[in-house]
Structures are given as structure tokens and as C-alpha cells.
A and B are shown apart, each in its own frame.
Chain A
Amino acid sequence: MSILHNNLTRRRSLALAAGALAVALGATACGGDSTSAPALPGKPAAGGDSVQAVIDAAPVATDAEIPAGSTMEAIRKRGELIIGGSLDAPLLAQQNPVSGQIEGFDADLAKLLAKYIIGKPEVKTVTIGTQTREAILQAKSVDAVFQTYTITPQRATQVAFAGPYLTSGLAVAVRKDETSIKSAKDLNGKTVIVGANTPAVTALPQVAPDAKQVAFATDPQAIQALLQNRGDAYVQDLTLLASGAKSNPGMKVVGEPFTSEPYGIGINREDAQFKEFVNNWLKKIQADGTWAKVWKATLGSVVEGDAPTPPVIGSVEGS
């Protein structure tokens, strides 16, 4: 066999294999419509239909509120709101693999804002890392950041915050049979599990400077680590812990939240007009009960009781 012939056969079979692969992938990617969501163990409902009803009933801005040349007008013309957010934050912004939609409190608020500006809840989520939020807002790559973005005076020098739209706090979770840890103060000298790049990383040393931190990338990993005795406690946002405790009987939340985290909507610092617009919108949905309904459908599904009173806009330094 000549070298040339072998070359050709090889190239042909390569092309054939590549073609077959492409066809197979194309078929899988295009085919199949979504069936109903599978029954998932321990997964708290993220609202789904009830949230859709809330969004359908949500207010839309009048033309008077959207002056020419403003960011809002640009968004309306574009037809979608571009936000920075997450895909794997349960109850806040979790992508549903079945529908491809992002569900959760942060995600739903973004949809409501989009509906308010455009008339339809068209949102495009750009996943961003927590360390790049300021840079991305300054570069105007996104219109806003909905990512449990804690308002701090330090950050307020680089970006503007609308809100706060939710107040939460860090709490402590331990294994069911743990008795020695009752609050954050008892964490000194213990091994504490935290989520990587969460506020817990910086907040923990302030209340328990001698605690040893072990960081994991996702919430399920951290919970597994706690249950496997890789740490004595897990410090995370209260609602996430409550959700975890609901699905994992082996852990429990102890004590009260030891920090207060006011979450704001990140906005470009120069855009005072947009900030005012978003604040007005927040006031509106707080007043007409939309905020509470969304809360109940998402975070409220794991916490007992009614929706809390929404935080007062502008009440936190930096907002």
C-alpha cells in the first residue's frame, strides 16, 4: 500500500468518525422535549408555577418613567436585561436542568425588573465570579448584578447599590449530635467549613479568630463534608443552611445569625438615574406585595412563617 493511499484512508475514516460524532451530538442536542420534572429527593420547591403567576401580575413601568437616553431605554430597546448572577445557588439563582431556566429569589427579582422595564421578563444571565463583580460593573458588561451582593462601604466606592432588597445573615450549622457548639462564639479553635468565596471567609475570623477554615466549592460538598466529620461546623447564609437542614436530617442550625448581610443590586457607579429607577421599582414591588410573594415562593419554602418585612431602601451605609 502506498503511503498516499494509507493517508487517504486514514483521513477518510477520521472524517467519517468526526461526522458521525457531530450527527450524534446534533441529534441529542436538538431532539427531545422536556418531560415533567423528575421527582428529586430532598429538593425544596423553587416556586415554579406560583412564581410565574406573580411575574404575570407584576407591574410594568410607564413611558414617563423611562426617559430618552437613559439606561432603561437602552435596555428596553435591546429587549433583554443583562445581569451578572450565578447558576448554582439553591433558592437564590439555581439553574433548572430540565427547563434551562434559572430559579430563585435573585433570579426572579431580575425577571421582575426586566418585566418592569421591557414588558417581558427577558433576562440574560452572565455567570460572574464574586471577585470580578466590581470590575465587570465598571466596564458596563452587565446592566446589574443580582448575586447576594453584600453592601459594604468599601464596595460602595467602586459600584453603586440599589436596595438593600434582602437582609440575611450567616449562621452556624452542626451535626445533629453535636452539643458543644451553640453559637458562633463557640467556634474558636474548631475546624469550620465555609463555602469558597462566600462572605463567611472574611466574617468568621472576626467572630472566631482561632477557628480553622476549610473551604469547599459548593453547598452540597460542604454539607457532605460536615456530615463526614471533616469539620465541626458549617458557616453559611441562614437560608441555605435552613434548606440544607431540611433535606439532611443529620444536620441542624444552631444559634441566631451572627452577621447581618444586606444584599443590594449592583449598578454602575456613574448611573445615578438607573439607581434611582431601580430603587423606585423596589419600593413599588415591596408595597404591592410582589416582593413578599416571591420571597414566599423561594426562600420562604424552607423557612417557617410569613415573609419578613423587606428592608428599607437606602437604610444601609453604601446603598
Chain B
Amino acid sequence: MNQTQQILFDEPGPRARRRIRIATVIGAVALVGALIAAVQQFASHGELAWSRWEPFTTWPIWRYLLNGLWATLKAAAATAVLSGAFGLLLALGRLSPNRPLRWLAGAYVEIFRTVPALLLIYVTLFALPAYGLNFPLFWKLVVPLVVSNAAAFAEIFRAGIQALDRGQTEAGLAVGLRRSQVMRLVVLPQALLQLAPSLVSQLVGLLKDTSLGFVVSYTELLYSGQVLSTYTQLLIQTFLVVSLIYLAVNASLSKFARVLQARNGRLTGRGRVAAGPDAPTPATSAPSTSATSTSTASSPDPTSPSTSPDPTSPSSTEGSTAR
């Protein structure tokens, strides 16, 4: 908890501590009670019957689900690499001095940030085959996700680049580097380092986006769960198991993002100690996607000077290091 948060309440004295303890115990008991009641209700519908859960103790079912997970990871990796690269190009385009290029890149980003990924998948699925563009299954999912996520990545990169101290660019130019060299040798390496947590968050969102595979019948994890549920007729159990797998994978990715965030803070040495390793910044709390949305959501904004002053640090020259 950062200093602002810690100041909001006094260190609890003995009476307050007692009160807190009582409240905690009561609260915990109430919660556990509610949980037990829920589980009992669940069981009364026969959902906890061993016969319903037994298939999930067998290896073939797990192998099927893990194959689905592998397919998810493949799709996510392909999407991440392609949309990341494309997004970077778009961001550079938006920042270039060339007006038509800026306009084109800007138009692309504005359009594809505000169209749901699901709609793009429908277009790829229904509209394109009529024009002869019938992609293999994998690409039917990946192409629309790339188109969508590239816009999100573009915004993240642009914000990160713009958030970097202007002094770096000026110094680079002063030393005699060309604009492109400044970008390549000075700005990007630093910006990318700063953005690593945001990028990983976007990756989590992207992974969840792949759950749209069921629309194109690509057997990623969620669709595999769907096929499994029609095979076993066990809707609830299957989805619970699938959700747990997603939770495990995404939670580890998010943890990785937080680790990166913490290391960034230590690495740059600047940034407010107050923020602490656990504090979110609008940059990393990008809800981007969740399963579809792409619209970047909050990621780039707090750090983009073009919209509002950087809220995460008192002085705007500090860039997005307040973590």
C-alpha cells in the first residue's frame, strides 16, 4: 500500500484492532457459510456427483483439453507477434512527420479500435470467402485478431514513445543521429522496456481473445471445452475446468507482468517509492480485450501527453515510471 493509502487511516489502536479482528472473524464466517450453502445447493442438483467429475480424472480428457490449450497458445503467440510488429509500424506511422502516412495510420487505429473483434471475425468468416479469400482455420481466427490488436498495440507503443523524456530524442538529434536512428537506437529500446508490463497485459487480453475461436470452430481451449461438453453432456463441469485452466495460465502471465513492473521500477531508479511494486498504473490495468474488445482500453492513455497530462507522476518529465 502506498503512502497516500497508508495515511488515510491511523495505525489502529487496541480497540480498533479488536474491532477489526471481530469484523474479520464475522466476515470470514459469513463468507464461509455462504460458500458452504452454495456448495450444498450445487450438490443437491447432483452437480457434485462423482460420475460427473470422473471424466476429468482421466488422461485422455486432459490430453484433449491440453491440446486445446496448446492451440490457444499457438494462436495467441502468432497474434501477439504479428499484431505487435504491425502495431509498432502503425505507431511509428502515426508519429512520422509524413502527413499522409500519419493520417492513414491514424485512421486505421481509430477505426479498428472501435470495432468489436467478433464483428471482424464474422467478416473474415462470412464476407471474405465470397471473394475467394478462404483462409485456413488457424488464420481465420488469427487474421481478424491481428487486425484488431494491432490498433491496440499501436496505441500502447505510441503512448510509450511519447511518454519518454523529450530530452532523449533531443540528445540523440544533437549528437547527429537521423530521426530514424534516434528512434531505433535511443527511443525504442527505452520505450519498449518501460512498456513491457503493458505489453504483457495486452498479451493476457489477447489470449482471452482467442477464446473467440469457437466462432470459427478452431479447436482452441474454449471451443475444445464446448466440443467436450457436447460429447459428455456435462456443460457446467467442463466450463468450470476450462475456466480454471484459463485462470492458471493468465494469472501466471499477469504475475509475470507485475514482476516486470517491479523490475522496471528498480531498474530505472526513478519513480515514486510510494507507488510500490503492487500499485497498478492505468498503463497496466489495460482491460484491453477480455475476449474481444481490442480497443486498447486504458493502456496508453494516462501516459499519452496528447490527451491528458500524465496522471501517474507529478512531473511530466518522469515518463511512465511511476510504478
Contacts and interface: CB of A to CB of B under 8 A. Distances in A.
Tell me whether A and B are bound partners. yes
Interface string B275-305: 0000000000000000000000000000000
Interface string B31-51: 000000000000000000101
Interface string A41-54: 11100000000000
A39 interface: yes
A61 interface: no
A113 B139 CA distance: 29
A3 B267 contact: yes
Interface stretch (A121-129, A276-284, A286-294): A121-129
A98 B230 contact: no
A283 B253 CA distance: 57
Contacts of B70: 25, 29
B126 A129 contact: yes
A38 B126 contact: no
Given A6-B267, A32-B63, A218 B217 contact: no
B125 interface: yes
A74 to B, nearest CB: 19
A34 interface: yes
A94 B64 CA distance: 14
Chain B interface, DSSP helix/strand/loop, else mixed: helix
B137 A127 contact: yes
A219 B54 CA distance: 22
A95 B224 CA distance: 10
Interface stretch (B97-105, B128-136, B155-163, B165-173): B128-136
Given A129-B217, A218-B226, A34 B60 contact: yes
B54 A39 contact: yes
Given A25-B66, A28-B63, A38-B54, A128 B231 contact: no
Contact of B233 (A136, A141, A217, A247): A247
A220 B235 contact: yes
Interface in B211-232: 214-219, 224, 226-232
A97 B228 contact: yes
Given A41-B233, A97-B60, A139 B134 contact: yes
B219 A87 contact: yes
Interface residues of A, number: 46
A89 interface: yes
Contacts of B61: 38, 97-98
Interface string B240-279: 0000000000000000100010010001000000000000
28 contacts: A6-B263, A10-B260, A25-B73, A29-B67, A32-B63, A38-B55, A38-B58, A39-B51, A39-B54, A41-B49, A41-B52, A41-B233, A43-B233, A87-B217, A87-B219, A90-B230, A94-B230, A94-B231, A97-B231, A98-B58, A98-B64, A127-B218, A129-B126, A132-B129, A135-B129, A139-B129, A139-B132, A220-B230
Interface of A: 3, 6, 10, 17, 25, 28-29, 32, 34-35, 37-43, 86-90, 94-100, 126-129, 131-132, 135-136, 139, 141, 217-221, 224, 247
Given A40-B55, A41-B234, 18 more contacts: A28-B62, A28-B66, A29-B70, A35-B59, A40-B231, A40-B232, A41-B52, A43-B232, A87-B217, A88-B230, A97-B228, A129-B125, A129-B216, A136-B134, A219-B230, A220-B230, A220-B233, A247-B233
Interface of B: 49, 51-52, 54-55, 58-64, 66-67, 69-70, 73, 125-126, 129-130, 132, 134, 137, 214-219, 224, 226-235, 256, 260, 263, 267
